[in-house]
Chains A and B, each alone.
Chain A
Amino acid sequence: MNVLMQALLDGICIGAIYGLGAMGLVVIQKSSGVFNLAQGMLMMVGGFIAGSLSVNMSLPMWAAAVLCMLAMALIGLIINFLVMRPLAGESPFTQIMATVGLMSILYGIVMAIWGTLPYIYPTEIIPIENIEIGVVLLSPSYLNGLIIAVVACIVLSLYYRKSREGTAMRATSEDEELAASVGIRVTKVLQLTWIIGSICAGLAGILFGMLGSVNYMMGEIGLMAIIPVFVFGGLESFVGALLAGFIVGVVNMLAGTYLEVTFPGITNVVPLVLMLTILIFKPYGLFGEERIERV
């Protein structure tokens, strides 16, 4: 029973981090219809930047996180300026292919700068002590993930609903040409989405790295972790991404607790099997609009 409770709580915390990563995908999917394959690599870059700042330059973790977010914003800006903007207006097919190239570039850069050595860094951005609820123990790195991801989700949702830029983004996601004709600068909106997407990825990367270490495998593992969340959450909803994150995280932790002993390494595979099942029965996810067309 304790084990079960522990797995559930840990799962919710990990799931929140997955949800944060998936929100980055949602932002980009919403406004340009592009599935960003490089999201996992962006997470890894974020993790490594924060790792260098806190381990090599011995900055406090919160400062490293803030600087990392700034750096990720810059990376998002560069990606948009050099890659996505010249391709704006091309079919999503072409743009997805461009993210394939991006994936390879980011992977190469990470391998060249940081190599295959893992970074282990402080486990908390917000200083929290271990919290004990009955017999269940919540460690600071998990709680940090939960708090930051939930806050990010609320902020993003409000930003999309209430702010001027958010409205512009929603308009662009509905119809680019119509948005342009009412005076919205679509290129600026796309730029903003790439910046937000990269920041989400960076933050998720830091939190993901806190659970263990940041290493060169994180690009793949991170992508595999957030894709089921993305599909389950219905591709276009922040709250959906967060809640789907909880579900996937719990499934992940349950698999880790009960199946890992008999089938080592299955933890990362179970959510993907779940995703394939979802694609059969409920392809628009939990919170997606039911405008998916079957052929």
Chain B
Amino acid sequence: MDPAGIYRTTYLDDMSIVRTKTQWTILISALILTVLAPFYLSKNLIDVMSLSCCILISTLGIQILTGYAGQISVGQAAFYGVGAYASAILVNDLGVPFIFSVFLSGLIAAAVGSAFGIPSLRLKGFYLVMATLAGQIIIIYLVSHMHFTGGMVGHKANYPSIGPLTFDTGPRLFWLNFSFLLLMTLMAKNIVRGRWGRAFIAVRDNDLAANVMGINVYRTKIFAFAVGCFFAGIGGSLAAHYTGMIHPTQFTLMDSIWYLGYIIIGGLSSITGCYFGVIFFVTIKEILTHLPVSAEMAQYILPITDVAFGVVIILILIFDPKGLNHRWELFKGYYRIWPLGYK
């Protein structure tokens, strides 16, 4: 849905992410506002936003895997953990520069993920759910019992530094995480609108037809899974250096479940949807955890968050399976012709 008067004459034009001058204006002003956020928002909010950036990167990964390629994974938190541990060990123990370790830990997460995914991805049906469930438990078991991961004590992760720059304050970490988020979003967007993205959608919708079209279904599924884990690894690596201390209990099965919830609520098969899902739930969680309630009620807050989360997932699945992103698209279509809408 484009406003009137926009004509596209080339394929390249038609595939562009940012299409109109208004979009450019909104995008640039939003970027400036976000980058300047540390100057006008409280420190706590910036902390939440920094961590949300890491979660969002990981959510982009599961969006590609589950939303686009249709493979359900319930191990995203574990692969996020693999990235976190890999990066912490690479930087702190082996002295690899941060900028290399981020991408290396992404690759390591992708490799570990593929090891769990390959057997089940050969099969039709939802075997990946079971394999990733197993992966979740096995990975967390390994990191909490291995010597070099620090076991149940956890592992330290230094503040990230690139060359002479050290990111050791809240705002600096936020800028680092946010720039990685932008980079990964661009990457995700490019993957899903290119050849691989179309292959993912074809495999999701009808793997037999995709096969007839000349797509190697097995390879496509594995690539989707590796990409999903790569994103998780990058997010995890940033999160590790952001929090400074990582521990096996940060990567639980329920966290993996939350990732699935983010994309359902935001809208499956949409990169923007990830943003909506994560922002929606982080906001709800922050509001619930900062409610001024008595100590007696406080113990019910976390369970209530879980219940609310599940209820929202089910309501969205039943009543509005396209998620928040679809609502956003409808709203855009509405304001473009406002006030001259027709019935």
Contact = CB atoms under 8 A, between A and B. Distances in A.
Contacts of B144: 265
Given A230-B130, A279-B131, A295-B218, 20 more contacts: A35-B129, A35-B130, A37-B74, A90-B321, A97-B72, A101-B261, A101-B309, A102-B314, A104-B257, A110-B303, A111-B302, A111-B303, A112-B307, A228-B134, A266-B141, A269-B141, A280-B119, A293-B124, A295-B124, A295-B217
Given A266-B141, A272-B137, A292-B125, A105 B300 contact: no
Interface of A: 35, 37, 82-83, 86-87, 90, 92-94, 96-98, 100-112, 115, 220, 223-224, 227-228, 230-231, 263-266, 268-269, 272-273, 275-276, 279-280, 283, 292-295
B217 A104 contact: no
A295 B304 contact: no
A231 B120 CA distance: 11
B123 A94 contact: no
B77 to A, nearest CB: 12
B212 interface: no
Which of the listed residues A97, A231, A295 has the most CB atoms from chain B within 10 Å of its own CB? A295
Contacts of A107: 254, 303, 306
B306 A108 contact: yes
In the complex, which range does the number of interface residues on chain B fall in? 35 or more
B133 A223 contact: yes
B138 A295 contact: no
B299 interface: yes
B336 interface: no
B305 interface: yes
Interface in B214-262: 217-218, 221, 253-254, 257-258, 260-261
B310 A102 contact: yes
A279 B306 contact: no
Given A108-B307, A279-B131, A294-B124, A96 B72 contact: yes
Contacts of B314: 82-83, 98, 101-102, 105
A268 B137 contact: yes
Contact of A276 (B131, B141, B217): B131
Contact of A279 (B127, B221, B302, B308): B127
B321 A94 contact: yes
A224 B133 contact: yes
A96 B129 contact: yes
Nearest to B219: A295
Contacts of B300: 112
A292 B129 contact: no
Interface string B112-137: 00001001101111110111011001
A105 B260 contact: no
A112 B130 contact: no
